[in-house]
């Protein structure tokens, strides 16, 4: 299975090719399908990585792990 970075690069190449609009319809559909599969694979890998990410904070002289919270979610939770 290709690595995340390889999937992302291939996905970017597919998007660029489709945006040019010079690809025949049948090939466009094939590229789109491949792009969706790559996108899903990237999303799954990111979700797995997020599940493992923890930020260590020093509290009362002890390191305590807290779940990672993306900046966007922090902003939404403050409202």
- Mean pLDDT per block of 10 residues along the chain (79 residues) reads 86 95 94 95 86 54 61 59
* Cα–Cα distance measured from residue 20 to residue 25, given in angstroms and rounded to the nearest whole number: 13
Cα–Cα distances in angstroms (integers) from residue 79 to residues 20, 41, 67, 71, 75, in the given order = 41, 33, 20, 13, 7
The confidence score (pLDDT) of residue 55 equals 44
The residue ranges of DSSP E strands in the chain, in sequence order, are: 54-59, 62-67
pTM over 0.85: no
Give which of 45, 32, 31, 36 is closest to 2, Cα–Cα. 45
């Amino acid at each position: 299975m290709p690595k995340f970075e390889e999937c992302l690069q291939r996905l970017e190449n597919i998007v660029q090719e489709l945006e040019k609009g010079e690809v025949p319809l049948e090939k466009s559909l094939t590229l789109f399908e491949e792009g969706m599969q790559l996108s899903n694979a990237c999303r799954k890998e990111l979700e797995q990585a997020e599940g493992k990410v923890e930020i260590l904070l020093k509290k009362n002289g002890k390191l305590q792990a807290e779940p990672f919270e993306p900046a966007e979610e922090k902003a939404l939770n403050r409202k």
